[in-house]
Structure 1
Amino acid sequence: MLPKELLEVLACPQCKGDLEYREKEQKLVCHKCKLAFPIVDDIPVMLIEEAEKLEG
């Protein structure tokens, strides 16, 4: 689980928008850019190149 303080300051590196934390999937999701950033060993990987593109 990511600390609340960290979640409050993290933003999408592409659009600087808000992220949704999906704890079960271990991802941070930007709905505007339709990207999901993985969380590996409790560390968010905020690289656009590493993000998963979401459908829809």
Structure 2
Amino acid sequence: MISKELLDILVCPETKAELVLEGNYLISTDRNTRRRYRIEDDIPIMLVEESEQLSLEEWTEIMKKHGKKIE
């Protein structure tokens, strides 16, 4: 499990946007890139090449769930 302290300092390596924890993934709050980074054995894999891009619909639902502003 990712600690709150670690989550507070981690950012998207591509855009430096804030991240939200969703299951075993860290999701970038950046609407344009919508990156999802997996977590393996409690270690976030923060490589852009290994990330996935979420659909706008899926990203929007996750942001709403976490109370993030959608622009």
Q: TM-score, normalised by structure 2?
A: 0.71
Gaps of 5+ in 1: none
> Which residue matches 2:29?
31
How many residues are paired up? 54
Gaps of 5+ in 2: 57-71
| Between structures 1 and 2, the one with greater helix share | 2
> Which residue matches 1:15?
15
Question: Deviating runs (4+, > 4 A) in structure 1?
Answer: none
> Which residue matches 2:64?
none
| Between structures 1 and 2, the one with greater strand share | 1
Q: Give the number of the structure with larger relative contact order, counting CA–CA contacts within 8 Å between residues 6 or more apart.
A: 1
SS in 1 for 2:39: strand
The reply on whether 1:54 has 2:58 as its aligned counterpart is no
Instruction: Provide the identity percentage.
Output: 41
The code of the aligned residue for 1:40 comes to E
Deviation at 1:31, TM superposition (A): 3.0
The reply on whether 1:45 has 2:45 as its aligned counterpart is yes
Q: TM-score, normalised by structure 1?
A: 0.89
